[in-house]
Amino acid sequence: MDHAHAHEHPHQQPHQARERSAAGMACAMHAHAGHGDHGAMVADFHRRFWLCLALTPPVLFLSPMIQHGLGLGDTLKFRGDGLVLFALSSVIYVYGRRPFLIGFSADLRNREPGMMTLVAVAISVAYFYSAAVTFGLQGVSF
């Protein structure tokens, strides 16, 4: 009998747990996305990425902080610019978040928070904070 296989190594268990977590996330993404293969899932992710990337420059240029940093002053200001900024940001958040929230739910089911949890929390906090700033709710306590 080989001694290496006679007992489990405790340091291998976290690695095995990560593999189960990644496999669970992949299965969850397949199940929720309705895709039969990995290629379709990757294609869906690419579509989401490119659309969100295309909408990012208008969001950046409409952002008061970016305008101030570039020294543009009120050059890009117009009536309703905050609502346009919020609408474009909402499209990016709602459309682009799906793969991350699916991975987040798989992480929670497995009780092993990982990178998908980090990204899902980060994009959600950023979106809701910017919505609060846009609508002047910074001082409101929830």
Nearest Cα residue to 55 out of 20, 95, 2, 98: 95
**pLDDT digits over 65-90, tens only?**
888 899 988 888 899 888 899 999 99
Q: In angstroms, what CA-CA distances link 113 with 23, 117, 141?
A: 14, 6, 27
Residue 32 has pLDDT above 60, yes or no: no
Structure confidence at residue 30 as a pLDDT band (50, 70, 90): very low
Q: Which of the four pLDDT bands, split at 50, 70 and 90, describes residue 140?
A: low
* 15 pLDDT above the threshold of 60: no
Mean predicted lDDT score pLDDT of the chain: 78
**Measured CA distances, 30 to 23, 108, 132 (Å):** 11, 17, 34
pTM for the predicted model, two decimal places: 0.65
Helix 81-96 vs helix 115-134: crossing angle, to nearest 10? 160
Q: Residue type at 139?
A: G
